[in-house]
Structure 1
Amino acid sequence: MRYGHHDQLSWLSLDGAVRYTDARRIKCFLDEVVLPQIGDTTVIDLRDVLSVDSTGLGLLAHIGRKCLSQFSRRAVILCPEGPVAQCLRAMQFDKLFTLTDTLDPPAELKIEPVPMNRTPPQGLASVMLGAHRDLCEVDEQNRARFTDVLDVLEREVAKRRS
């Protein structure tokens, strides 16, 4: 994962497989760095992403929802045609984001690797639950797809709290 911020532009680049196993660290970075300084133009670069699971999609949806609520603007997802782009459209991300396959960062933007050594405060089940809730808010079809997942995660989180 790499990140850069300049003026009102935030640029987040992900790579490889974006899976639930990395969700706690990604969520921690989003909460501590990206979301507090998010610009009115936000780009999520998925050109080097091979796959993304539902938890990863939910984390992306969280960014998109934040951009809409804070700036009344859609974040941009940069993603070439292929399986990942098909998945984004299947999850109705074109309702939440502007999807494009061509965009270059400005020359003055420094996009640097993100250290992933911080211990996240939230447990995995809580992060997964929040991500799936955000994913379900994108579209009613997503809510229908993930109702069972939400039920299981809600029970798991409740069990851990008691």
Structure 2
Amino acid sequence: MTTGRIQFAESDGTFVLKFLGDVRLTLCAALDAYIEKIVSALHFKSIVIDLTETDNIDSTSLGLLAKLSILSRERVGLLPTLVSTQQDMLRLLQSMGFEQIFNIVAETTPTDAELQDLPPQTLSEEQVRARVLEAHRLLMDLNEHNRNAFVDLVTSLEGDTESDDC
């Protein structure tokens, strides 16, 4: 499995994110920052997330993708497109309920945009915990399967947050 990277591009109001390799929590700060950039842009017309070269993606990253879709739908009424040609990835997306919040395409969609790596972001432990908690709450809201899968993690993280406040 190759180390994960996330690349991005923007061309004529189309934002493209390409996930490569093993996409994990360590990339989430950069992803979250770019999501904020996308949804605050006044000129965006479409969002494409390319998972054709993704070996693995963790639940926090999936939760941030759910956040991107929810914000996109709220702000401009747009469902982003997820692209994957891998059957195991398509099954994962379906099991998470992503067909409700994304247009899922099982074929490559060429782009002429010049992709660049997202710049790394440094977060405190508390900031990381808050992002993980938000991502998993979003996933839990999608369906009962996700709620059952992530309830223990969310409860644990909420407990950690409350004990830090004391």
Interval containing the TM-score (normalised by the shorter chain): 0.7 to 0.9
* Identity among equivalent pairs (%): 23
TM-score scaled by structure 2? 0.84
Q: Is the 8 A contact 1:67 1:74 kept in 2?
A: yes
Q: Is the 8 A contact 1:129 1:153 kept in 2?
A: yes
1:14 to partner: Cα distance = 1.2
Superposed counterparts of 1:77-156, under 5 Å: 77-102=82-107, 103-105=109-111, 107=112, 109-116=113-120, 118-120=121-123, 123-156=127-160
RMSD: 1.9
The runs of at least 4 consecutive aligned structure 1 residues that moved more than 6 Å come to none
Q: 1:134 to 1:25 in 2, by over 3 A?
A: same
Unaligned runs of 5+ in 1: none
Q: Is the 8 A contact 2:52 2:86 kept in 1?
A: no
Q: 1:86 to 1:21 in 2, by over 3 A?
A: same
1:125 to partner: Cα distance = 1.1
Question: Higher relative contact order at CA 8 Å, sep ≥6: structure 1 or structure 2?
Answer: 1
Q: Is the 8 A contact 2:83 2:105 kept in 1?
A: yes
Q: 1:27 to 1:159 in 2, by over 3 A?
A: farther
